[in-house]
Amino acid sequence: MSSISPTPTPTPTMLDASHVPYRLAASYIRSVLVSKSIPLPAVGIVCGSGLSGLSDAFDDDAPSIVIPYSSIPHFPSQCSVVGHVGEMVVGSLNSVPTMCLRGRFHPYEGHDASDVVLPIRAMRCLGVRLVVLTNAAGGLRDEYVVGDVAVIRDHVALPLLAGGRGSCNPLIGPNDVELGTRFPPTSDMYDPKLRIIVRDVARRLGYDDFVRTDPGAIYAFVAGPQYESRAECKMLRDALGADAVGMSTVPESVAARHAGMAVLCLSLITNKVVYARDDDEDDAGGGHAHHEEVVRAANGRSAQMTRLVGEVVRAIGESYLPALEALSPIDLDVRGRVTNGEEGGEGEGKQRRRGGCGILLGGSIFSSPFSSIPTHCFIMGGAILVVGAVLGSRMGRRS
Among 27, 291, 302, 340, the one annotated catalytic: 291
Element housing 279 (H / E) = none
**Any domain includes 31:** yes
Among 27, 62, 64, 109, the one annotated catalytic: 109
Q: Does 122 share its domain with 36?
A: yes
> 377 is in which domain, residue-wise?
355-398
Q: Does 224 share its domain with 161?
A: yes
Among 74, 106, 111, 258, the one annotated catalytic: 106
Among 64, 108, 275, 346, the one annotated catalytic: 108
Q: Does 188 share its domain with 240?
A: yes
pLDDT of residue 175: 96
pLDDT of residue 197: 97
Best CA proximity match to 117, nearest among 42, 38, 182, 173: 173
Which residues in 354-382 are b (16+ Cβ under 10 Å) and which e? ebeebeeeeeeeeeeebbebeeeeeeeee
Q: Does 164 share its domain with 63?
A: yes
Q: Is residue 22 flagged as an active site residue? A: no
Q: Does 375 share its domain with 282?
A: no
Among 136, 255, 259, 305, the one annotated catalytic: 136
**Any domain includes 342:** no
**Any domain includes 372:** yes
| End-to-end Cα, the chain, rounded Å | 98
Q: Is residue 169 flagged as an active site residue? A: no
Does the pTM exceed 0.85? no
Q: Does 128 share its domain with 211?
A: yes
**Any domain includes 337:** no
Among 18, 49, 92, 371, the one annotated catalytic: 49
The structural domain count of the chain equals 2
Q: Is residue 299 flagged as an active site residue? A: no
Residue finishing a domain among 307, 323, 339: 323
Q: Is residue 84 flagged as an active site residue? A: yes
**Any domain includes 254:** yes
For residues 102 and 207, give the distance between their C-alpha atoms in angstroms, rounded to a whole number: 24
pLDDT of residue 10: 57
Q: Does 33 share its domain with 153?
A: yes
pLDDT of residue 30: 98
Q: Is residue 248 flagged as an active site residue? A: yes
Q: Does 381 share its domain with 269?
A: no
pLDDT in tens, 101-118: 988 888 888 888 899 999
Residues of the chain falling short of pLDDT 70 = 1-11, 49-51, 77-84, 165-166, 275-291, 293-295, 341-399
* DSSP-based three-state secondary structure for 96: strand
For residues 165 and 188, give the distance between their C-alpha atoms in angstroms, rounded to a whole number: 25
**Any domain includes 330:** no
pLDDT in tens, 233-262: 999 999 999 999 999 999 999 999 999 999
CATH of residue 66 = 3.40.50.1580
pLDDT of residue 395: 46
**Any domain includes 333:** no
Q: Is residue 247 flagged as an active site residue? A: yes
Q: Is residue 37 flagged as an active site residue? A: no
**Any domain includes 161:** yes
Q: Are 148 and 61 in contact (CB under 8 A)?
A: no
Torsion-angle region of 147 (φ positive above 0: left; ψ -120 to 50: alpha; else: beta): left
Q: Does 106 share its domain with 34?
A: yes
